Chains A and B, each alone.
Chain A
Amino acid sequence: MNRIFRQKAGLTRLRFIIVPLAMVVGIATIALALANHDKKQNMRQIYTKGNYLVSLIATHPISSLGNERRDIVLKTLAKFTYPQGVAYCIIHDAAGLPMIVLTPKDMAAKIPPAVKTKSLYAIGLTQQKYQMNGSPKTFYEFATPMFENGQKTGTVRIGFNLPQVSFFSIERMSLLAMICFLIIAAVTFVYYGITQVLHPLTHIPSELTTLNDDSAASIENPQDSYSIHALVQRLGQALTRLEKKLKDTESENVELSTRLGVATFEKNQIVNILDATNYGVVITDIQDNITHANTFALSLMNKQLAEVLDHPVAEALPNKDIAQFAARKGSTQPVSSPHHIETTFDDLAPDETFRVTFSYLRDDDGTPIGKIISLKDITHEIQGEKTMKEFVTQLAHELRTPLTTITAYNEMLMDDEIQDPEVKKEFYNTIRDETSRLTQLIHNLLNMSKIELGGLTFNKELVRTDWLYQDCINAAEAAALKKQIKVEKLVPDNFPTLVGDKEQLKVALNNVLSNAVKYTPQNGSITFSLFESDQHVIFEISDTGYGISKEDRPRIFDKTYRSSDPRIVEQPGSGFGLAITEAIISAHGGMLEVESEPGKGTQITIRIPQEAYDLGSQ
């Protein structure tokens, strides 16, 4: 490091010698150039004057002039006779002898003899340069012949002093001083300007040292930081660092692009998953402005995503319950656990119910940054719960009612409160009927349970339909008789046979016939037909009962459903008789068709294949 400092100090001293020396040499060169220029200028003037004067005198030969004019010319010539002007004027005659000599007193003697005597005309010279004897001065002589009337009358010679050019003249010194001043001023101005322009670059290293680059520390002297060399050095270092940084940034860009691509893919996947869900999801920021909504939620709002983005959730989802709950939850509820409400929307059906769940989105610190509002359509759940509740209630009623009757009647008989034998018999019959009703109900329940669990068994046998028909019609006729309902039977002469389970088919047909009797008012009629068609045995049970309403029609095979029609409700029944019938007929490969008109009656047609259906090994 010390060696570097010494080298730098030596360079600084050398610079202080070289720069002034260069300036002196420069100024001297300029001065010499100026002097040379002045000399040339003087030479040009001498040549112009000399040629002019000799021509003037030759054109107007003094010898031919009168004395008066001759004096004028001589005086004119004399005016030029200054130390730096005309040195002498000699006019020779035709023979070469000096005729007129105008010269300072000692001048003629100093003219070299060769010049004095030599006829310039004779040697053809018009001008010559020579030095006076004993004088360093240089003379320029101009000569030309004179003619009068076509005859040469003589030669005119005029000598000129070469003006002395003073190297250190006041004018030149002033001019040089001015030039030096201008040069120094210009250099200073340019240097200062460049320094000012480059001054911002002095900050580059200090800013880039934060980038952990040690090279910036090589500039120790603050003053050095203002030199152009130092600036350029810094600029170079800065550019190197920038280049390195640029490469690093490019690498980071590639990595970030990759991460962005992955993040975008994952985001799209999440959006796709959200859109594929069968419940609405609305995501808001902490001010309850929507940042995303999935397809389900948008269809619920009946809007496009762009229409709801950055809009308050209360504006996009016009629902008072949600607005009130969100406001209440935001102010008083803890933000930890999700909460939900159940609500309906004005634009949708009144029974279409949604469970709205609120939960908070959090950052890594656990600070809430938004909310997730999910909307799930729970209409079917509620309907299912309601139906199941009604089913359980109905089932409990159907089980407990005969049980109550049996218990009460039994208690009365046990307490010996019935004395009349006829009443006793009536009570025993009632207990028997209610027990039978309870048994039938439990049998249906077990069958239903078996159907659901897949454990309903069938005994495959050849079934004589005349026997099956007779068994069924006997039970129906007994029940119909109590309600004074007329039973009409339509049967073929030759009953067909079929392959199936007679007992299960009897259950299936009895359920239909029992319904026909139960839901046909007094004095009505029932028709039970049996015939063969296209290798199928067809059972038709029609009645003149209450019929099935349009609302009840789609659900008559639902085990948990029973009509709310008061005329139906007042009749005992579990509601799953037809469900069992349909399951049995389906197991036989048959079909069950229902035609009904409310207030007029119902016709149920059961088609069972005679042979084809295989009940399997059961």
Chain B
Amino acid sequence: MEVNKKVLIVDDEAPIRRVLEFKLKNSGYQVLIAHNGRQGLELIKTEQPDAVVTDIMMPELDGQQLCEQSNALKQARPFLTIVVTCRIAQDEQQWINQLQDTLFMEKPFSPARLVECIDQYLGIKR
């Protein structure tokens, strides 16, 4: 089922990028890939994805900085951000809760569950 929606994957781990790309493409999404936060921010601005899946621990610009800097763009054009992380600290959940349309998903996560979240946000029914 082809979905005319773009999902941006931001992760420095190649195996993660690969499996998410595969799963999202299988679900009919157009997939954009970024290796770090800086590339991801550029693609958010230029490609205007409908959803962003990002890791936190990344070189150059980490996931928290990416989310905070891209949050301002959501007022003009809302989009979903799913933060996948292995951190368990409470302060991490706090800054995620303060951002618009941002979800928290703890590693290890299920690719199917991730796609369900994106489908639900974008109102896609299968």
Q: Do A and B bind each other?
A: yes
Check B68 for interface membership: any CB of A closer than 8 A.
no
Check B101 for interface membership: any CB of A closer than 8 A.
no
Check A400 for interface membership: any CB of B closer than 8 A.
yes
A residues neighboring B (CB under 8 Å):
389, 393-394, 396-397, 399-401, 403-409, 411-412, 415, 417-418, 423, 427, 430, 433-434, 566-567, 569-570, 572
Residues of B within 8 A of A399 (CB): 86
Residue picked from B36, B84, B110, B111, most chain A C-beta under 10 Å? B111
Q: Least Cβ distance of A571 to chain B in Å?
A: 9
Residues of B within 8 A of A572 (CB): 13
Of the residues A408, A412, A418, contact of B16 by C-beta under 8 Å = A408
Q: Least Cβ distance of B39 to chain A in Å?
A: 12
Of the residues B19, B60, B107, contact of A400 by C-beta under 8 Å = B107
Secondary structure class of chain A's binding surface, majority of residues? helix
Contact with A along B80-107 (1 / 0, CB 8 A): 0000101111000000000000000001
* Residue pair B111, A397 in contact (C-beta under 8 Å): no
Q: A417-B26, A569-B57, A570-B12 are in contact. Are A411 and B87 (CB under 8 A)?
A: no
* Residue pair B22, A404 in contact (C-beta under 8 Å): no
* Residue pair B88, A412 in contact (C-beta under 8 Å): no
* Residue pair B59, A401 in contact (C-beta under 8 Å): no
* Residue pair A434, B15 in contact (C-beta under 8 Å): yes
Nearest B residue to A570, CB-CB: B59
* Residue pair A404, B23 in contact (C-beta under 8 Å): no
Nearest A residue to B60, CB-CB: A566
Secondary structure class of chain B's binding surface, majority of residues? loop
Q: Least Cβ distance of A387 to chain B in Å?
A: 15
Q: Least Cβ distance of B75 to chain A in Å?
A: 30
Whole-angstrom distance between the alpha carbons of A427 and B16 in the complex?
11
Tell me the total A-B contact number using a CB cutoff of 8 A: 75
Q: Least Cβ distance of A243 to chain B in Å?
A: 80
* Residue pair A569, B16 in contact (C-beta under 8 Å): no
Whole-angstrom distance between the alpha carbons of A417 and B86 in the complex?
26
Residues of A within 8 A of B89 (CB): 389, 393
Whole-angstrom distance between the alpha carbons of A404 and B16 in the complex?
8
* Residue pair B86, A411 in contact (C-beta under 8 Å): no
Check B20 for interface membership: any CB of A closer than 8 A.
yes
B window 1-59: CB within 8 A of A: 12-13, 15-16, 18-20, 22-23, 26, 36, 57-59
Residues of A within 8 A of B58 (CB): 570
Q: Least Cβ distance of A598 to chain B in Å?
A: 17
Q: Least Cβ distance of B118 to chain A in Å?
A: 15
* Residue pair B13, A405 in contact (C-beta under 8 Å): yes
Residues of B within 8 A of A394 (CB): 57
* Residue pair B110, A412 in contact (C-beta under 8 Å): no
* Residue pair B110, A408 in contact (C-beta under 8 Å): yes
Extra pairs beyond A411-B111, A412-B22, A570-B59 (12, CB < 8 Å): A393-B86, A396-B88, A404-B107, A405-B16, A407-B110, A408-B16, A408-B19, A408-B108, A408-B110, A417-B23, A567-B59, A570-B12
